[in-house]
Amino acid sequence: MNNKIQLQDLGTKDYKTTWEYQEELFKAIVALKMQNRREELELATPNYFLFVSHPHVYTLGKSGDFSNLLLSEKQLADKGATFYKINRGGDITYHGPGQIVGYPILDLENFFTDIHKYLRFLEESIILTLQEYGLECGRSPGETGVWLGVGTPFARKICAMGVRASRWVTMHGFALNVNTDLGYFDHIIPCGIRGKAVTSLHVELGVEKVDEAKVKASILKHFAALFESEFVS
User: Where is the binding site, in residues?
Assistant: 88-95, 160-162, 173-175
Residue 159 annotated as catalytic: no
Binding site, annotated residues for substrate: 88-95, 160-162, 173-175
Beta bridge partners of 99: 177
The C-alpha atoms of residue 195 and residue 91 are separated, in whole angstroms, by 15
- Residues paired with 173 in a beta bridge: 162
From CA 33, how far away is CA 17, in angstroms rounded?
A: 25
Phi, psi of 117 (to 5 degrees): -65, -40
8 A C-beta contact, residue 171 and residue 164: yes
What is the chain's length?
233
Q: Which of 25, 191, 201, 210 is catalytic?
A: 191
Provide the annotated active-site residues.
191
